[in-house]
Amino acid sequence: MPSTDSIARLLISCPDRPGIVAAVSSFLYSHAVNITTLDQYSTDPEGGTFLSRLEFHTPHMDVSGPALEKAFAETVAARFDMRWHISYAARVKRTAILVSRLDHCLLELLWLWRRGKLPTDIALVASNHDELRPVVEGFGIPFHHVPVAPGPEGRARAEARLLELTEGVDLVVLARYMQILSGAFVAHFPLRIINIHHSFLPAFVGANPYQKAYDKGVKLIGATAHYVIEELDAGPIIEQDVARVTHRHDIGALKDLGRDLERQILARAVRWHLEDRILLNGNKTVIFD
C-alpha cells in the first residue's frame, strides 16, 4: 500500500459541461500520478454545478506540488471556470478544540486522535472553565483556561486571547463550547469552525434544546454538526442523526441519548473535513464518503 505521505486530494466545483473529467484525468496522467478515488456529483447535467473529489498518489509525479498547481490553474481550471483546491496528506492539518464543562465530545475526539483515527495535529484545547485540564493534559495536549467575563468587553478579551492561541490553526472545533462567537472571530476561520449543536437543526436553535424538545413532546431527538457562520446555528450542515424517544424518557434520559449522538456526529464531521471530503454548494454540503 502506498505511503499516506504520497496522497494528494483535489476538490473541484464548477459549471457542469462535457469534458471535465476527461480534462482533469488527462492532466494528472500527463504528470505521472495515479488516481485511486474519483467521486463526482452534478446538481443538474444541464446548467447545474459539477462537484468532484479525486484522491491520487504522487511518488512518481514529474513536477513539484506548486508546479502542478500552477499548471492545473492555467491549463484546466481556467478553461472550466473552476473553484478548486489541492491538499497533501503529508501536510497534517492543525486543530484547536474549544470546550466548556461537558467532556463527552472532547473525549471522543481525543481518543480517536490517540488511536490514529483522526488525521490531525491537535495543537491545543481551550476552555472557559478549568475543570478539564487534567483530562486534556493526560493526553499530552496543551490546555489553556480562557475565562469569559460577563459583558461585551469580557467576551472581546477572551476572543482576543483565543485568536492568539489559534494563530496558524487550520480548524477550530467547538466540542460543546457554550459561548457564542462574534462575527469578527468567525471571520478569521471562514468555513473552518465546526460546531456540534444538541438538536436536529433547524429545530430548537439556541440554548436548552433538550428542554425545548421535552416540552414539545417530540418522538425523535437529534444532533447536528455544522460549519459556524455569524448567524447562530445557521451554517451549512455537515452531519445529523436522530434517536427515537417515548413518553417514558425524562429530560435526563433525553440528554444521555443526545450526548451519544453528539460525540459520534461531531467526530464524523471533523474527520470528513480533515480528509477533504466536504464541498459547499450554496448553503448545502456535498459529502464524498
Beta pairing partners, 95: 122, 171
Cell of 36: 485511486
Residue 100: CB atoms within 10 A of its CB come to 18
Q: pLDDT of 130-158, one tens digit each?
A: 999 999 999 999 999 999 999 989 999 99
Each domain of the chain, given as residue ranges in start order, spans 4-88, 94-287
pLDDT of res. 1: 46
pLDDT of res. 262: 93
Residue 200: CB atoms within 10 A of its CB come to 22
pLDDT of res. 214: 74
CATH of 94-287, one of 3.30.950.10, 3.40.50.170, 3.40.50.720, 3.10.20.30: 3.40.50.170
**Which of 103, 170, 233, 276 is the catalytic position?**
233
User: Which residue is associated with the grid cell 434544546?
Assistant: 209
Give DSSP secondary structure letters for 16-52: --TTHHHHHHHHHHHTT-EEEEEEEEES-TTT-EEEE
Question: CB–CB of 174/194 below 8 Å?
Answer: yes
pLDDT of res. 34: 95
Beta pairing partners, 281: 284
Q: pLDDT of 244-261, one tens digit each?
A: 887 888 878 888 888 899
3-state helix, strand, coil in the chain (%, to 5): 35, 30, 40
User: Which residue is associated with the grid cell 461585551?
Assistant: 152
Query: Phi/psi of residue 116, each to 5°?
Result: 80, 20
Mention every residue, 6+ apart, whose C-beta is less than 8 A from residue 18. none
Question: CB–CB of 86/69 below 8 Å?
Answer: yes
Q: Tell me, yes or no, if 5 is annotated catalytic.
A: no
Determine the Cα–Cα distance for residues 173 and 194; give it in Å rounded to an integer. Answer: 5
Task: Name residues of the chain where pLDDT drops below 50.
Answer: 1
CATH of 4-88, one of 3.30.70.260, 1.10.357.10, 3.10.50.40, 3.40.50.2300: 3.30.70.260
Cell of 266: 461531531
